[in-house]
Chain A
Amino acid sequence: MVWLQVPGNPGGSFPITPMLFIGTLGMLLLAIALVVFIVFHQRKILRYQLKFQKMEEEQQKILLNASIRWQEEERQRIAADLHDDAGPLLATARLYLNENLLKQDVSTQLQSIYNAKQIIDDTIQLIRNISHSLMPPTLKNFGLESAVNDLFQKISATGAINASCRFHDYRQRLVPEQELLVFRVVQELINNVLKHSNASFMHITQNIQDGRFFLRLHHDGRGITQDDFQKMNKSSLGLGLKNIQSRMKVLQGNINFEKDISQTYFKITLDIPVIETELVAG
Protein backbone atom coordinates (compact mmCIF):
# COMPACT_ATOMS: atom_id res chain seq x y z
CA MET A 1 0.00 0.00 0.00
CA VAL A 2 2.88 2.31 0.82
CA TRP A 3 4.27 2.40 -2.71
CA LEU A 4 1.04 3.89 -4.02
CA GLN A 5 1.40 6.97 -1.82
CA VAL A 6 3.72 9.53 -3.33
CA PRO A 7 5.37 11.67 -0.61
CA GLY A 8 4.54 15.35 -0.54
CA ASN A 9 6.87 18.30 -0.10
CA PRO A 10 7.48 18.89 3.64
CA GLY A 11 8.31 22.53 2.94
CA GLY A 12 4.64 23.27 2.21
CA SER A 13 4.37 24.49 -1.34
CA PHE A 14 3.80 21.75 -3.95
CA PRO A 15 6.31 21.87 -6.79
CA ILE A 16 4.68 21.13 -10.09
CA THR A 17 6.65 17.98 -10.76
CA PRO A 18 7.12 16.74 -14.27
CA MET A 19 6.36 13.30 -12.95
CA LEU A 20 2.65 14.01 -12.58
CA PHE A 21 2.36 15.44 -16.09
CA ILE A 22 4.52 12.82 -17.72
CA GLY A 23 2.76 10.03 -15.84
CA THR A 24 -0.71 11.30 -16.68
CA LEU A 25 0.14 12.07 -20.29
CA GLY A 26 1.88 8.73 -20.67
CA MET A 27 -1.08 6.79 -19.28
CA LEU A 28 -3.51 8.74 -21.43
CA LEU A 29 -1.49 8.20 -24.59
CA LEU A 30 -1.09 4.50 -23.83
CA ALA A 31 -4.83 4.15 -23.26
CA ILE A 32 -5.69 5.93 -26.51
CA ALA A 33 -3.07 3.93 -28.44
CA LEU A 34 -4.47 0.66 -27.06
CA VAL A 35 -8.05 1.55 -27.99
CA VAL A 36 -7.06 2.66 -31.51
CA PHE A 37 -5.00 -0.50 -31.99
CA ILE A 38 -7.90 -2.70 -30.89
CA VAL A 39 -10.38 -0.97 -33.21
CA PHE A 40 -8.14 -1.21 -36.27
CA HIS A 41 -6.94 -4.73 -35.51
CA GLN A 42 -10.47 -6.02 -35.11
CA ARG A 43 -11.53 -4.39 -38.38
CA LYS A 44 -8.61 -6.14 -40.07
CA ILE A 45 -9.65 -9.49 -38.57
CA LEU A 46 -13.26 -9.04 -39.69
CA ARG A 47 -12.21 -8.05 -43.20
CA TYR A 48 -10.03 -11.15 -43.42
CA GLN A 49 -12.91 -13.30 -42.12
CA LEU A 50 -15.26 -11.89 -44.74
CA LYS A 51 -12.72 -12.50 -47.50
CA PHE A 52 -12.20 -16.07 -46.31
CA GLN A 53 -15.97 -16.65 -46.19
CA LYS A 54 -16.34 -15.37 -49.75
CA MET A 55 -13.56 -17.66 -50.94
CA GLU A 56 -15.26 -20.63 -49.28
CA GLU A 57 -18.57 -19.74 -50.90
CA GLU A 58 -16.89 -19.50 -54.30
CA GLN A 59 -15.28 -22.87 -53.77
CA GLN A 60 -18.63 -24.38 -52.75
CA LYS A 61 -20.19 -23.01 -55.93
CA ILE A 62 -17.44 -24.51 -58.05
CA LEU A 63 -17.87 -27.90 -56.37
CA LEU A 64 -21.63 -27.77 -56.74
CA ASN A 65 -21.39 -26.90 -60.44
CA ALA A 66 -18.89 -29.69 -60.95
CA SER A 67 -21.20 -32.12 -59.19
CA ILE A 68 -24.17 -31.08 -61.35
CA ARG A 69 -22.07 -31.32 -64.52
CA TRP A 70 -20.89 -34.79 -63.53
CA GLN A 71 -24.44 -35.95 -62.87
CA GLU A 72 -25.55 -34.66 -66.28
CA GLU A 73 -22.63 -36.37 -68.00
CA GLU A 74 -23.44 -39.62 -66.20
CA ARG A 75 -27.08 -39.40 -67.30
CA GLN A 76 -26.02 -38.67 -70.85
CA ARG A 77 -23.70 -41.68 -70.82
CA ILE A 78 -26.45 -43.97 -69.53
CA ALA A 79 -28.90 -42.55 -72.06
CA ALA A 80 -26.34 -43.04 -74.85
CA ASP A 81 -25.66 -46.63 -73.74
CA LEU A 82 -29.37 -47.43 -73.71
CA HIS A 83 -30.13 -45.60 -76.95
CA ASP A 84 -27.12 -46.64 -78.97
CA ASP A 85 -26.71 -50.21 -77.72
CA ALA A 86 -29.81 -51.56 -76.05
CA GLY A 87 -32.26 -49.85 -78.39
CA PRO A 88 -30.90 -51.23 -81.70
CA LEU A 89 -30.46 -54.70 -80.18
CA LEU A 90 -34.08 -54.90 -79.06
CA ALA A 91 -35.20 -53.48 -82.42
CA THR A 92 -33.24 -56.21 -84.21
CA ALA A 93 -34.74 -58.90 -81.96
CA ARG A 94 -38.20 -57.55 -82.82
CA LEU A 95 -37.43 -57.93 -86.53
CA TYR A 96 -36.81 -61.61 -86.02
CA LEU A 97 -40.08 -62.10 -84.12
CA ASN A 98 -42.77 -60.83 -86.49
CA GLU A 99 -45.99 -62.28 -87.94
CA ASN A 100 -44.18 -63.48 -91.11
CA LEU A 101 -42.31 -66.03 -89.00
CA LEU A 102 -45.46 -68.20 -89.02
CA LYS A 103 -45.21 -68.51 -92.82
CA GLN A 104 -41.59 -69.74 -92.67
CA ASP A 105 -40.50 -73.36 -92.48
CA VAL A 106 -39.62 -74.92 -89.09
CA SER A 107 -35.82 -74.67 -89.45
CA THR A 108 -36.01 -70.97 -90.42
CA GLN A 109 -38.39 -70.37 -87.50
CA LEU A 110 -35.99 -72.10 -85.09
CA GLN A 111 -33.05 -70.10 -86.47
CA SER A 112 -34.97 -66.80 -86.05
CA ILE A 113 -36.01 -67.69 -82.49
CA TYR A 114 -32.42 -68.63 -81.65
CA ASN A 115 -31.09 -65.36 -83.12
CA ALA A 116 -33.70 -63.32 -81.23
CA LYS A 117 -32.87 -65.17 -78.00
CA GLN A 118 -29.16 -64.46 -78.52
CA ILE A 119 -29.82 -60.76 -79.08
CA ILE A 120 -32.10 -60.59 -76.01
CA ASP A 121 -29.37 -62.30 -73.91
CA ASP A 122 -26.86 -59.72 -75.13
CA THR A 123 -29.29 -56.95 -74.24
CA ILE A 124 -29.84 -58.39 -70.76
CA GLN A 125 -26.07 -58.50 -70.24
CA LEU A 126 -25.74 -54.91 -71.47
CA ILE A 127 -28.43 -53.67 -69.11
CA ARG A 128 -26.86 -55.68 -66.29
CA ASN A 129 -23.51 -53.99 -66.97
CA ILE A 130 -25.13 -50.54 -66.95
CA SER A 131 -26.87 -51.40 -63.69
CA HIS A 132 -23.66 -52.72 -62.10
CA SER A 133 -21.76 -49.62 -63.05
CA LEU A 134 -24.46 -47.55 -61.35
CA MET A 135 -24.56 -49.67 -58.22
CA PRO A 136 -22.31 -52.75 -58.03
CA PRO A 137 -24.19 -55.53 -56.21
CA THR A 138 -20.92 -56.84 -54.71
CA LEU A 139 -20.56 -53.59 -52.79
CA LYS A 140 -24.06 -53.82 -51.35
CA ASN A 141 -23.97 -57.52 -50.55
CA PHE A 142 -20.36 -58.18 -49.59
CA GLY A 143 -18.86 -54.83 -48.73
CA LEU A 144 -16.13 -52.49 -49.85
CA GLU A 145 -13.30 -55.00 -49.68
CA SER A 146 -15.03 -57.46 -52.04
CA ALA A 147 -16.11 -54.70 -54.43
CA VAL A 148 -12.60 -53.24 -54.65
CA ASN A 149 -11.09 -56.73 -55.06
CA ASP A 150 -13.57 -57.43 -57.83
CA LEU A 151 -12.74 -54.17 -59.57
CA PHE A 152 -9.01 -54.78 -59.36
CA GLN A 153 -9.36 -58.33 -60.69
CA LYS A 154 -11.27 -57.05 -63.73
CA ILE A 155 -8.60 -54.41 -64.33
CA SER A 156 -5.77 -56.94 -63.99
CA ALA A 157 -7.56 -59.33 -66.34
CA THR A 158 -7.29 -56.77 -69.15
CA GLY A 159 -3.49 -57.07 -68.94
CA ALA A 160 -3.02 -53.29 -69.28
CA ILE A 161 -1.80 -52.79 -65.70
CA ASN A 162 -0.82 -54.91 -62.73
CA ALA A 163 -3.46 -54.09 -60.10
CA SER A 164 -3.61 -55.58 -56.61
CA CYS A 165 -5.27 -54.77 -53.35
CA ARG A 166 -4.92 -55.75 -49.71
CA PHE A 167 -7.28 -54.94 -46.86
CA HIS A 168 -5.43 -55.47 -43.56
CA ASP A 169 -8.26 -54.78 -41.16
CA TYR A 170 -11.80 -54.69 -42.47
CA ARG A 171 -13.58 -56.84 -39.91
CA GLN A 172 -15.68 -53.80 -39.04
CA ARG A 173 -17.40 -52.47 -42.15
CA LEU A 174 -18.12 -48.83 -42.74
CA VAL A 175 -21.77 -47.78 -42.95
CA PRO A 176 -23.29 -48.38 -46.43
CA GLU A 177 -23.33 -44.67 -47.29
CA GLN A 178 -19.65 -44.36 -46.47
CA GLU A 179 -18.80 -47.53 -48.41
CA LEU A 180 -20.53 -46.22 -51.52
CA LEU A 181 -18.80 -42.84 -51.33
CA VAL A 182 -15.39 -44.43 -50.74
CA PHE A 183 -15.98 -46.84 -53.64
CA ARG A 184 -16.86 -43.97 -55.96
CA VAL A 185 -13.71 -42.11 -54.91
CA VAL A 186 -11.63 -45.24 -55.54
CA GLN A 187 -13.30 -45.69 -58.95
CA GLU A 188 -12.53 -42.09 -59.87
CA LEU A 189 -8.93 -42.37 -58.70
CA ILE A 190 -8.43 -45.59 -60.66
CA ASN A 191 -9.97 -44.02 -63.77
CA ASN A 192 -7.53 -41.14 -63.48
CA VAL A 193 -4.58 -43.51 -63.03
CA LEU A 194 -5.64 -45.56 -66.05
CA LYS A 195 -6.31 -42.51 -68.24
CA HIS A 196 -3.49 -40.14 -67.35
CA SER A 197 -0.65 -41.78 -65.48
CA ASN A 198 0.74 -44.47 -67.79
CA ALA A 199 1.40 -46.60 -64.73
CA SER A 200 2.47 -50.22 -64.91
CA PHE A 201 1.34 -51.17 -61.46
CA MET A 202 -1.23 -49.99 -58.97
CA HIS A 203 -1.71 -51.21 -55.41
CA ILE A 204 -4.28 -50.43 -52.70
CA THR A 205 -3.79 -51.05 -48.99
CA GLN A 206 -6.25 -50.50 -46.17
CA ASN A 207 -6.04 -50.29 -42.41
CA ILE A 208 -7.90 -48.83 -39.45
CA GLN A 209 -6.10 -46.82 -36.77
CA ASP A 210 -7.40 -44.75 -33.84
CA GLY A 211 -10.97 -44.83 -35.11
CA ARG A 212 -9.98 -43.71 -38.59
CA PHE A 213 -10.16 -45.67 -41.86
CA PHE A 214 -7.10 -45.33 -44.09
CA LEU A 215 -6.92 -46.31 -47.77
CA ARG A 216 -3.68 -45.85 -49.70
CA LEU A 217 -3.35 -46.12 -53.47
CA HIS A 218 0.19 -46.44 -54.87
CA HIS A 219 1.14 -46.29 -58.55
CA ASP A 220 4.34 -45.88 -60.47
CA GLY A 221 3.09 -43.56 -63.21
CA ARG A 222 2.74 -39.79 -63.56
CA GLY A 223 0.87 -38.39 -60.62
CA ILE A 224 -0.08 -35.16 -58.93
CA THR A 225 0.87 -33.64 -55.58
CA GLN A 226 -1.41 -31.99 -53.03
CA ASP A 227 -0.56 -28.53 -54.46
CA ASP A 228 -1.60 -29.63 -57.95
CA PHE A 229 -4.83 -31.06 -56.55
CA GLN A 230 -5.70 -27.81 -54.77
CA LYS A 231 -4.85 -25.69 -57.82
CA MET A 232 -7.01 -27.82 -60.07
CA ASN A 233 -9.91 -27.65 -57.65
CA LYS A 234 -9.85 -23.87 -57.78
CA SER A 235 -9.79 -23.82 -61.58
CA SER A 236 -12.42 -25.02 -64.05
CA LEU A 237 -10.36 -28.14 -64.84
CA GLY A 238 -10.44 -31.50 -63.11
CA LEU A 239 -14.13 -32.39 -62.90
CA GLY A 240 -13.31 -35.81 -61.48
CA LEU A 241 -11.05 -34.34 -58.81
CA LYS A 242 -13.76 -31.89 -57.78
CA ASN A 243 -16.16 -34.80 -57.37
CA ILE A 244 -13.58 -36.53 -55.23
CA GLN A 245 -13.30 -33.43 -53.08
CA SER A 246 -17.09 -33.15 -52.73
CA ARG A 247 -17.33 -36.77 -51.64
CA MET A 248 -14.49 -36.38 -49.17
CA LYS A 249 -16.29 -33.38 -47.68
CA VAL A 250 -19.45 -35.43 -47.24
CA LEU A 251 -17.37 -38.17 -45.60
CA GLN A 252 -15.70 -35.52 -43.40
CA GLY A 253 -12.43 -37.10 -44.42
CA ASN A 254 -9.13 -35.99 -45.93
CA ILE A 255 -7.32 -36.88 -49.13
CA ASN A 256 -3.63 -36.37 -49.63
CA PHE A 257 -1.67 -36.62 -52.87
CA GLU A 258 2.08 -37.00 -52.52
CA LYS A 259 5.17 -38.47 -54.04
CA ASP A 260 6.78 -41.13 -51.92
CA ILE A 261 10.06 -40.28 -50.13
CA SER A 262 11.93 -42.72 -52.37
CA GLN A 263 10.62 -40.65 -55.37
CA THR A 264 9.69 -43.84 -57.23
CA TYR A 265 5.94 -43.81 -56.89
CA PHE A 266 2.96 -41.65 -56.11
CA LYS A 267 0.71 -42.21 -53.12
CA ILE A 268 -2.86 -41.10 -52.53
CA THR A 269 -4.15 -41.44 -48.96
CA LEU A 270 -7.82 -41.36 -47.96
CA ASP A 271 -8.45 -40.79 -44.25
CA ILE A 272 -12.04 -41.09 -43.03
CA PRO A 273 -13.56 -41.17 -39.54
CA VAL A 274 -15.32 -44.43 -38.75
CA ILE A 275 -18.87 -43.47 -37.77
CA GLU A 276 -20.63 -46.74 -37.09
CA THR A 277 -19.30 -50.20 -37.15
CA GLU A 278 -20.88 -53.38 -38.37
CA LEU A 279 -19.14 -56.63 -37.62
CA VAL A 280 -18.61 -58.73 -40.72
CA ALA A 281 -19.64 -62.31 -40.09
CA GLY A 282 -16.71 -64.73 -39.94
Chain B
Amino acid sequence: MFVLLLDIITLVVVGFYFSTSKREKNLLPLILYLIIGVLSDYIFNPIIKHYSNNYSIGLRIFTFIEFLCISTFYYRVFGEKSKKLLALIVAAFGVFSIIDFYFSRNSLFDSVPTGISSLVFVSYSIIFFYYQLKYNHSTLIYRLFEFWAIVGVFIYFSGNFFLFIFSQKNFSDPLFKNLFYAFMTVFSIMRNLFWLTAIIVSKKRS
Protein backbone atom coordinates (compact mmCIF):
# COMPACT_ATOMS: atom_id res chain seq x y z
CA MET B 1 0.00 0.00 0.00
CA PHE B 2 2.83 2.36 0.84
CA VAL B 3 4.44 1.56 -2.47
CA LEU B 4 1.21 2.49 -4.24
CA LEU B 5 1.07 5.72 -2.24
CA LEU B 6 4.67 6.47 -3.22
CA ASP B 7 3.88 5.93 -6.90
CA ILE B 8 0.83 8.19 -6.68
CA ILE B 9 2.79 10.95 -4.98
CA THR B 10 5.55 10.61 -7.58
CA LEU B 11 3.01 10.99 -10.37
CA VAL B 12 1.46 14.00 -8.63
CA VAL B 13 4.89 15.65 -8.30
CA VAL B 14 5.79 15.05 -11.93
CA GLY B 15 2.34 16.04 -13.15
CA PHE B 16 2.29 19.21 -11.05
CA TYR B 17 5.70 20.20 -12.34
CA PHE B 18 4.63 19.89 -15.97
CA SER B 19 1.15 21.28 -15.40
CA THR B 20 2.01 24.92 -16.07
CA SER B 21 4.34 26.66 -18.50
CA LYS B 22 6.20 28.48 -15.69
CA ARG B 23 8.51 25.63 -14.75
CA GLU B 24 11.57 26.08 -12.62
CA LYS B 25 14.40 24.71 -14.80
CA ASN B 26 16.63 24.00 -11.81
CA LEU B 27 14.18 21.35 -10.58
CA LEU B 28 14.20 19.47 -13.89
CA PRO B 29 17.06 17.09 -12.93
CA LEU B 30 15.11 15.97 -9.87
CA ILE B 31 11.94 15.41 -11.91
CA LEU B 32 13.93 13.41 -14.47
CA TYR B 33 15.34 11.35 -11.64
CA LEU B 34 11.82 10.57 -10.41
CA ILE B 35 10.69 9.58 -13.91
CA ILE B 36 13.73 7.35 -14.40
CA GLY B 37 13.09 5.84 -10.95
CA VAL B 38 9.53 4.87 -11.87
CA LEU B 39 10.61 3.54 -15.27
CA SER B 40 13.40 1.49 -13.75
CA ASP B 41 11.05 -0.03 -11.13
CA TYR B 42 8.38 -1.05 -13.63
CA ILE B 43 10.23 -1.50 -16.93
CA PHE B 44 14.04 -1.65 -16.80
CA ASN B 45 14.57 -3.85 -13.76
CA PRO B 46 12.02 -6.52 -14.82
CA ILE B 47 13.67 -6.62 -18.28
CA ILE B 48 17.13 -6.99 -16.75
CA LYS B 49 15.85 -9.63 -14.30
CA HIS B 50 14.29 -11.53 -17.20
CA TYR B 51 17.49 -11.65 -19.24
CA SER B 52 20.08 -11.89 -16.46
CA ASN B 53 20.32 -13.63 -13.11
CA ASN B 54 22.13 -10.70 -11.64
CA TYR B 55 19.84 -7.71 -11.68
CA SER B 56 22.10 -5.69 -9.42
CA ILE B 57 23.45 -4.20 -12.69
CA GLY B 58 20.17 -2.30 -12.94
CA LEU B 59 20.60 -1.05 -9.39
CA ARG B 60 24.15 0.11 -10.05
CA ILE B 61 23.20 1.94 -13.23
CA PHE B 62 20.32 3.55 -11.37
CA THR B 63 22.67 4.59 -8.53
CA PHE B 64 24.94 6.32 -11.02
CA ILE B 65 22.02 8.05 -12.76
CA GLU B 66 20.70 9.13 -9.35
CA PHE B 67 24.14 10.56 -8.51
CA LEU B 68 24.31 12.34 -11.86
CA CYS B 69 20.80 13.85 -11.68
CA ILE B 70 21.08 15.09 -8.11
CA SER B 71 24.61 16.41 -8.74
CA THR B 72 23.25 18.33 -11.73
CA PHE B 73 20.62 19.86 -9.47
CA TYR B 74 23.31 20.89 -6.98
CA TYR B 75 25.40 22.33 -9.81
CA ARG B 76 22.45 24.54 -10.79
CA VAL B 77 22.03 25.66 -7.17
CA PHE B 78 25.71 26.36 -6.49
CA GLY B 79 26.38 27.99 -9.84
CA GLU B 80 29.13 28.02 -12.45
CA LYS B 81 31.97 28.10 -9.91
CA SER B 82 31.14 24.55 -8.79
CA LYS B 83 30.97 23.11 -12.33
CA LYS B 84 34.49 21.67 -12.52
CA LEU B 85 34.49 20.27 -9.00
CA LEU B 86 31.08 18.61 -9.32
CA ALA B 87 31.96 17.19 -12.74
CA LEU B 88 35.15 15.76 -11.24
CA ILE B 89 33.22 14.19 -8.36
CA VAL B 90 30.65 12.66 -10.74
CA ALA B 91 33.42 11.25 -12.94
CA ALA B 92 35.26 9.87 -9.90
CA PHE B 93 32.04 8.29 -8.65
CA GLY B 94 31.43 6.71 -12.04
CA VAL B 95 34.91 5.19 -12.11
CA PHE B 96 34.51 4.01 -8.53
CA SER B 97 31.15 2.38 -9.30
CA ILE B 98 32.72 0.42 -12.16
CA ILE B 99 35.59 -0.74 -9.93
CA ASP B 100 33.13 -1.71 -7.17
CA PHE B 101 31.03 -3.69 -9.65
CA TYR B 102 34.13 -5.57 -10.79
CA PHE B 103 35.00 -6.55 -7.22
CA SER B 104 31.49 -7.33 -5.96
CA ARG B 105 29.47 -8.23 -9.04
CA ASN B 106 27.66 -11.05 -7.25
CA SER B 107 26.28 -8.97 -4.42
CA LEU B 108 22.60 -8.10 -4.56
CA PHE B 109 23.00 -4.47 -3.49
CA ASP B 110 25.63 -1.81 -4.11
CA SER B 111 26.10 -0.66 -0.51
CA VAL B 112 29.38 1.12 -1.00
CA PRO B 113 28.39 3.40 -3.91
CA THR B 114 25.02 4.22 -2.34
CA GLY B 115 26.68 4.83 1.03
CA ILE B 116 29.19 7.16 -0.57
CA SER B 117 26.53 8.98 -2.58
CA SER B 118 24.55 9.48 0.68
CA LEU B 119 27.57 11.02 2.38
CA VAL B 120 28.28 13.23 -0.65
CA PHE B 121 24.73 14.58 -0.85
CA VAL B 122 24.50 15.13 2.90
CA SER B 123 27.75 17.13 2.62
CA TYR B 124 26.43 19.17 -0.32
CA SER B 125 23.28 19.95 1.68
CA ILE B 126 25.28 21.09 4.72
CA ILE B 127 27.41 23.32 2.45
CA PHE B 128 24.23 24.87 1.01
CA PHE B 129 22.85 25.56 4.51
CA TYR B 130 26.17 27.08 5.57
CA TYR B 131 26.27 29.45 2.59
CA GLN B 132 22.66 30.44 3.15
CA LEU B 133 23.35 31.32 6.80
CA LYS B 134 26.50 33.21 5.92
CA TYR B 135 25.47 35.16 2.84
CA ASN B 136 21.69 35.28 2.62
CA HIS B 137 20.63 38.34 4.60
CA SER B 138 17.61 39.36 2.60
CA THR B 139 15.26 36.41 2.03
CA LEU B 140 13.88 33.93 4.53
CA ILE B 141 15.44 30.59 3.71
CA TYR B 142 12.13 28.72 3.59
CA ARG B 143 10.94 31.03 0.81
CA LEU B 144 13.54 29.53 -1.51
CA PHE B 145 12.45 26.51 -3.52
CA GLU B 146 16.07 25.24 -3.41
CA PHE B 147 15.77 24.94 0.37
CA TRP B 148 12.80 22.56 0.17
CA ALA B 149 14.35 20.47 -2.58
CA ILE B 150 17.61 20.14 -0.65
CA VAL B 151 15.80 19.31 2.61
CA GLY B 152 14.12 16.47 0.69
CA VAL B 153 17.49 15.16 -0.52
CA PHE B 154 19.05 15.66 2.94
CA ILE B 155 16.38 13.77 4.84
CA TYR B 156 16.17 10.99 2.23
CA PHE B 157 19.88 10.24 2.21
CA SER B 158 20.54 10.74 5.90
CA GLY B 159 17.56 8.52 6.79
CA ASN B 160 18.60 5.80 4.33
CA PHE B 161 22.32 5.87 5.07
CA PHE B 162 22.37 3.02 7.60
CA LEU B 163 19.94 1.06 5.48
CA PHE B 164 22.26 1.26 2.48
CA ILE B 165 25.35 0.19 4.35
CA PHE B 166 23.54 -2.78 5.94
CA SER B 167 22.04 -3.94 2.65
CA GLN B 168 24.91 -5.55 0.76
CA LYS B 169 25.35 -8.45 3.18
CA ASN B 170 21.73 -8.81 4.26
CA PHE B 171 19.69 -8.29 1.12
CA SER B 172 19.12 -12.01 0.62
CA ASP B 173 17.24 -12.18 3.93
CA PRO B 174 13.49 -11.72 3.29
CA LEU B 175 12.92 -10.04 6.68
CA PHE B 176 15.63 -7.50 5.99
CA LYS B 177 14.29 -6.97 2.47
CA ASN B 178 10.83 -6.10 3.82
CA LEU B 179 12.38 -3.71 6.30
CA PHE B 180 14.47 -2.20 3.53
CA TYR B 181 11.47 -1.51 1.30
CA ALA B 182 9.44 -0.17 4.24
CA PHE B 183 12.11 2.34 5.26
CA MET B 184 12.87 3.23 1.66
CA THR B 185 9.25 3.86 0.82
CA VAL B 186 8.67 6.06 3.86
CA PHE B 187 11.74 8.18 3.16
CA SER B 188 10.91 8.37 -0.55
CA ILE B 189 7.42 9.64 0.30
CA MET B 190 8.93 12.28 2.59
CA ARG B 191 11.42 13.27 -0.11
CA ASN B 192 8.71 13.58 -2.75
CA LEU B 193 6.52 15.69 -0.47
CA PHE B 194 9.40 18.10 0.09
CA TRP B 195 10.01 18.24 -3.65
CA LEU B 196 6.34 18.95 -4.22
CA THR B 197 6.67 21.84 -1.75
CA ALA B 198 9.69 23.06 -3.72
CA ILE B 199 7.64 23.09 -6.93
CA ILE B 200 4.78 24.97 -5.22
CA VAL B 201 7.20 27.56 -3.78
CA SER B 202 8.88 28.01 -7.17
CA LYS B 203 5.54 28.55 -8.87
CA LYS B 204 4.50 31.10 -6.22
CA ARG B 205 7.77 32.95 -6.75
CA SER B 206 7.38 33.06 -10.52
Contacts and interface: CB of A to CB of B under 8 A. Distances in A.
Chain B binds chain A? yes
A28 B132 contact: no
A98 interface: no
B170 interface: yes
A9 B172 CA distance: 11
Contacts of A31: 122, 154-155, 158-159
Contacts of B116: 4
A20 B173 contact: no
A42 B161 CA distance: 27
Main secondary structure of the interface of B (DSSP, over half): helix
Does more than half of chain A's interface fall in helix, strand or loop, or is it mixed? helix
A282 interface: no
Contacts of B112: 1, 4-5
B142 A4 contact: no
Nearest to B103: A1
A106 interface: no
A279 interface: no
A224 interface: no
A34 B162 CA distance: 18
Contacts of B111: 4-6
Nearest to B104: A5
B82 interface: no
A38 B141 contact: yes
Nearest to B137: A49
A8 B137 contact: no
Contacts of A28: 155, 158-159
Contact count band on B: 35 or more
B162 to A, nearest CB: 4
A23 interface: yes
B2 interface: no
A55 interface: no
| A interface, size bucket | 20 to 34
Given A4-B111, A4-B116, A20 B133 contact: no
Contacts of B133: 38, 41-42, 45
Contacts of B1: none
Interface string A15-55: 01001100110011011101100110111011001000000
Contacts of A30: 158
Interface stretch (B7-15, B41-49, B66-74, B175-183): B175-183
A159 interface: no
A39 B161 contact: no
A211 interface: no
Contact of B161 (A12, A27, A32): A27
B57 to A, nearest CB: 19
B193 interface: no
A25 B111 CA distance: 19
B166 interface: yes
Contacts of B137: 45-46, 49
22 contacts: A4-B111, A4-B112, A4-B115, A4-B116, A5-B111, A5-B112, A5-B168, A6-B111, A9-B170, A14-B176, A16-B179, A24-B161, A24-B163, A31-B122, A31-B154, A31-B158, A35-B129, A35-B151, A38-B132, A39-B141, A45-B137, A49-B137
Q: Which 8 A-B pairs have the closest CB atoms?
A: A8-B169, A23-B162, A14-B173, A14-B176, A31-B158, A27-B158, A8-B170, A4-B115
Given A4-B115, A14-B173, A20-B163, 6 more contacts: A5-B111, A6-B165, A8-B169, A14-B176, A20-B166, A42-B132
